[in-house]
Copies of this chain bind each other. A is one copy, B any other.
C-alpha cells in the first residue's frame, strides 16, 4: 500500500478544528488540485466559494441545521454546480445556450463533486481535515441568496476545512463485495452483505458511543427514507433556472 492509498483509506470526517487559519498557499493548493480533476468535455461546470467571513459562516452554520463546525472551521468551501459561466461564454459567441435538459444538470453536479473530492484529498495530504456538509441543501434558497449566486448555479454541498482538533475512528464501509460487481450487477448478494454490515456497524456505534447508541445500517436507512428528505429541491432548482427536460 503506497502513501496515497494509505491517505485515501484513512479518511475520517473532521468536525472539530483548531483556530489556526489556512495560508494562501494552502488554499491555492486545494483549489488548483480541485481544478485538475476531470471535467466532462472540459466544461468546468462548477464554482467554489471560500467563505471566511465570520458572520457568513455563522449564518451558513444555522442554515445547515445548526452544525456549529461550519462556523468554527477557518474556511468553509461551497461547491456549486455552475452553468452560468458556460452561458456567459455562449453569449460572448452570440449563441443561446441549451441548458434545459437533465444532462447538463448531471454534468455540472458531477463536475462539482469530482473537484471537491480532489480538494479534500489535497487538504488531508497537508495535515488538514474536513467534512462534507450536505446540510446546506436544507435551505438552499437562503444559502444561494447569502452567497449571491446567479441563475443556473446551485450549491451542491459545503466542506469545512481546518486543522483537526479531534482524532475520530475511521467509519467502516460495507465489504467490497457489497459495492463491487464483476461484469454484471448481482443484487442477490445484498441481503447477506447488509446483514453482515449491520453487525459491523452495531459494534462500531457501541464503541463510538460507549454503549449508548444501538442501531444498525439497515435500521438507519429504513428510518431515513421512511419520510421525504429535502422535498423542496426540485422547486428550488427550478427557481434557480434549472430544467430537467
Contact = CB atoms under 8 A, between A and B. Distances in A.
A8 interface: yes
Contacts of A147: 181, 183-185
Interface stretch (A15-23, A32-40, A161-169, A206-214): A32-40
Contact of A179 (B31, B106, B184, B194): B31
Contacts of A194: 85, 88-89, 92
* Copies, count: 2
Nearest to A96: B226
Given A8-B122, A31-B179, A157 B110 contact: yes
A196 interface: no
A225 B233 CA distance: 25
A155 to B, nearest CB: 10
A222 B90 contact: yes
A8 B34 CA distance: 8
Contacts of A245: 231, 234
Interface residues of A, number: 117
Could you say which of A28, A183, A191 has the most chain B C-beta atoms within 10 Å of its C-beta?
A183
Given A90-B222, A101-B230, A11 B38 contact: yes
A110 B107 contact: no
A86 B225 contact: yes
A13 B42 CA distance: 11
A102 interface: yes
A35 B101 contact: no
B88 A191 contact: yes
Could you say which of A121, A230, A244 has the most chain B C-beta atoms within 10 Å of its C-beta?
A121
Contacts of A32: 9, 173, 176
B116 A230 contact: no
A61 B5 CA distance: 29
A120 interface: yes
B47 A181 contact: yes
Contacts of A98: 225-229
Interface string A97-141: 111011110110110011011101110011000011010010000
Question: Which 4 residue pairs spanning A and B have beta carbons closest together?
Answer: A4-B125, A113-B113, A93-B222, A117-B117
